[in-house]
């Protein structure tokens, strides 16, 4: 059984951050039945666990109670961050052209205009940080003493506080990655109607690093690695540190490759191991499968009957099949609908998986759907008999918004690893949401970070690193490299981490995201692809925030109308 934090939360008053996406959150109750921080917490563990659950739940929440965003489903944090990091690259395209933000992200033509995906990231991360700050205030020693909390309860709350601090670091990492200079507040910031100021990217990096290093210290209240799934523990802290150091040169202009390698060593020394079957990492029972749990370091916990989120792995199961693919007798990935929205461009499949295509007839239609890919990580693509060979090309921009252009990807499969589609079919009819935990940090990523660190340290034939890469390729059923190169890592991360939300960040690190020498169809809004300005390596601060908060300065390169420069 998962250590699942029940998604019942106590509403607590939190400090007001005067921004457009956050509604007024510290109003006094209008009647004695309303709950405030003073009455929400007492001297019982359940109240403090419920407060912590609110912090975790912000990752997968559709709730708009405290947020000024139009679409709850699209605003979910993992969905919004995934959309920015995948649909802006060669790895995925979205066909929902009626959503203006989709067109901008698909073609790298966004501006400082309102963008639902970037607003979702901005609002959800700031909202989560706000919950953490208030939680830490309400669990300070003096508050616990006033409420008569026992020493035993205080010890448990110390663990909850450590988890909350990790989640704040995690939220700041995402916000720093997307916006560069996010609004920055902690529990020590002024309370009340105070406009939060931005922090420089390097300062946010340093803050995240200091928090994580404190949490991994001996004697820290942070739970031991592999003891707290799916909640955070010391393994998650070291894993996030490894990713932070991996991208240090982007965030701070100072490479930290030795630190990245050392952080990976720490993670690997904690007893994790690769799952024996790659596909099982993304099945509906991945959080209960002991073999998979050996690899998962930190995950977002999705459950059909509890989380009921329209983002995360619900998006990645429903949106990768069309309505015609789901019938009474066919639920190809274990859920009861098809949204027809996400697919992988043909060129990506050919380039990184070397697909051998099915036969076609005289009309250019598939005779069968039996493509061949040697790499087991490429066996999730779905073709349909009779579909024309237009999959090969996206001839005009409108074809980006036709779900048939591209290959469907069923990497996320809600069917448990030990059941077939036929065996799960009756259950699938009731699955309106996904049960698949979304891997946020896993050992496969750590192996790749270790290899990249070695390469950048001049150790391109480091035997330990090559051994880790061989473990990944052995699992995939393909040949291992004999040396570590940038080109290999660009391709191998595309294969191993496909659709896990890393691609934009990776391409920026490799200097390829905005480059005019590394292109894909409709990059930069041009059919054959073109470069775009480097300033788009971060997104604009949402315009509503610029209007609401006079302390904010728009990111360089974006129009200054409405900014506070």
The residue extents of the domains of the chain are 8-222, 228-301+437-501, 312-414
Of residues 196 and 260, more confidently modeled: 260
Given a cut of 50, whether residue 451 has pLDDT beyond it is: yes
pLDDT at 388: 58
pLDDT (mean) for 38-64: 91
pLDDT (mean) for 486-505: 98
| 322: Cα separation from own chain's centroid | 23
DSSP state at residue 329: T
Please say whether the dihedral angle defined by the alpha carbons of residues 191, 196, 200 and 201, taken in this order, is positive or negative: positive
Given a cut of 80, whether residue 304 has pLDDT beyond it is: yes
Percent of the chain surpassing pLDDT 90: 77
- The CA distance from 211 to 388, in Å, is 53
Reported CATH class of domain 228-301+437-501: mainly alpha
pLDDT at 8: 27
Q: Can 8-222 and 228-301+437-501 be said to share one CATH topology?
A: yes
- The CA distance from 553 to 541, in Å, is 8
Q: Which residue in 559, 562, 510, 546 sits closest to 181, CA to CA?
A: 546
Neighbours of 65 (CB within 10 A): 9
pLDDT at 230: 96
pLDDT at 28: 29
What 3-state DSSP class applies to 17? strand
- The CA distance from 235 to 239, in Å, is 6
pLDDT at 10: 29
pLDDT at 36: 55
Whose tokens are 């896990």? That residue is 500
Q: Which residue in 439, 435, 434 sits closest to 339, CA to CA?
A: 434
Give, for 382, the enclosing helix (H) or strand (E): strand 381-382
Whose tokens are 């916000």? That residue is 175
Q: Which residue in 448, 447, 438, 416 sits closest to 296, CA to CA?
A: 438
8-222: in CATH 1.25.40.390: yes
Please give the sequence-ordered ranges of beta strands (E in DSSP) within 131-280, or none if there are none. Answer: none
- The CA distance from 133 to 172, in Å, is 12
Q: From its phi and psi, is residue 108 left (phi > 0), alpha (psi between -120 and 50) or beta?
A: left
pLDDT (mean) for 250-267: 98
Please give the sequence-ordered ranges of beta strands (E in DSSP) within 424-547, or none if there are none. Answer: 438-442
Of residues 10 and 340, more confidently modeled: 340
Given a cut of 80, whether residue 29 has pLDDT beyond it is: no
- C-beta separation of 125 from 20 below 8 A: no
The first and second tokens of residue 387, run together, are 């579909």
Of residues 305 and 465, more confidently modeled: 465
Given a cut of 90, whether residue 200 has pLDDT beyond it is: yes
């Amino acid at each position: 059984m998962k250590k699942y934090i029940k998604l019942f939360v106590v509403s607590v008053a939190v400090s007001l951050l005067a921004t457009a996406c956050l509604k007024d959150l510290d109003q006094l109750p209008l009647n004695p039945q309303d709950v405030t921080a003073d009455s929400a917490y007492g001297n019982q563990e359940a109240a403090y666990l419920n407060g912590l659950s609110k912090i975790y739940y912000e990752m997968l929440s559709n709730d708009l109670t405290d947020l000024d965003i139009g679409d709850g489903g699209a605003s979910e944090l993992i969905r919004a961050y995934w959309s920015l990091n995948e649909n802006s690259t060669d790895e995925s395209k979205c066909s929902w052209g009626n959503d203006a933000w989709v067109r901008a992200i698909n073609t790298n033509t966004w501006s400082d205009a309102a963008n639902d995906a970037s607003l979702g990231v901005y609002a959800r991360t700031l909202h989560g940080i706000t919950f953490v700050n208030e939680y830490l205030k309400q669990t300070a020693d003096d508050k616990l003493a006033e409420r008569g909390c026992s020493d035993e309860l205080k010890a448990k709350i110390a663990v909850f506080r450590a988890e909350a601090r990790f989640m704040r670091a995690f939220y700041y990492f995402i916000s720093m990655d997307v916006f560069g200079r996010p609004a920055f507040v902690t529990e020590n910031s002024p309370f009340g109607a105070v406009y939060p100021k931005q922090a420089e990217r390097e300062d946010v990096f340093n803050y995240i690093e200091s928090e994580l290093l404190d949490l991994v210290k001996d004697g820290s209240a942070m739970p031991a690695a592999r003891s707290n799934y799916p909640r955070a523990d010391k393994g998650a802290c070291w894993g996030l540190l490894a990713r932070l150091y991996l991208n240090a040169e982007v965030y701070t202009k100072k490479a930290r490759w030795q630190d990245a390698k050392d952080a990976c060593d720490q993670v690997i020394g904690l007893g994790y191991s690769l799952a024996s079957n790659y596909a099982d990492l993304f099945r509906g029972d991945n959080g209960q499968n002991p073999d998979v749990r050996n690899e998962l370091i930190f995950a977002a916990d999705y459950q059909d009957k509890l989380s009921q989120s329209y983002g995360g792995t619900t998006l990645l199961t429903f949106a990768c099949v069309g309505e015609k693919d789901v019938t009474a007798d066919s639920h190809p990935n274990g859920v009861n609908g098809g949204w027809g929205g996400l697919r992988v461009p043909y060129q990506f499949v050919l380039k990184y998986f070397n697909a051998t295509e099915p036969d076609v007839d005289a009309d250019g239609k598939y005779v069968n759907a039996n493509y061949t890919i040697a790499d087991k990580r490429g066996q999730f693509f779905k073709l349909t008999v009779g579909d024309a060979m237009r999959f090969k090309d996206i001839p005009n921009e409108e074809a980006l918004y036709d779900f048939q252009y591209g290959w469907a990807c069923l990497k996320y499969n809600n069917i448990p690893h030990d059941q077939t589609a036929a065996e799960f079919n009756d259950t699938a009819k009731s699955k309106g949401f996904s049960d698949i935990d979304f891997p946020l940090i896993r050992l496969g990523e750590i192996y790749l970070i270790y290899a990249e660190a070695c390469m950048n340290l001049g150790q391109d034939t480091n035997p330990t690193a090559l051994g880790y890469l061989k473990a990944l390729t052995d699992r995939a059923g393909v040949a291992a490299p004999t040396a570590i190169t940038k080109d290999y890592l660009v391709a191998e991360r595309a294969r191993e981490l496909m659709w896990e939300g890393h691609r934009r960040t990776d391409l920026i690190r490799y200097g390829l995201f905005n480059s005019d020498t590394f292109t894909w169809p409709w990059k930069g809004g041009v059919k054959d692809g073109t470069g775009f300005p480097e300033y788009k390596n971060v997104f604009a601060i949402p315009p509503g925030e610029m209007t609401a908060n006079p302390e904010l300065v728009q990111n360089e390169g974006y129009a200054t109308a409405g900014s506070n420069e």
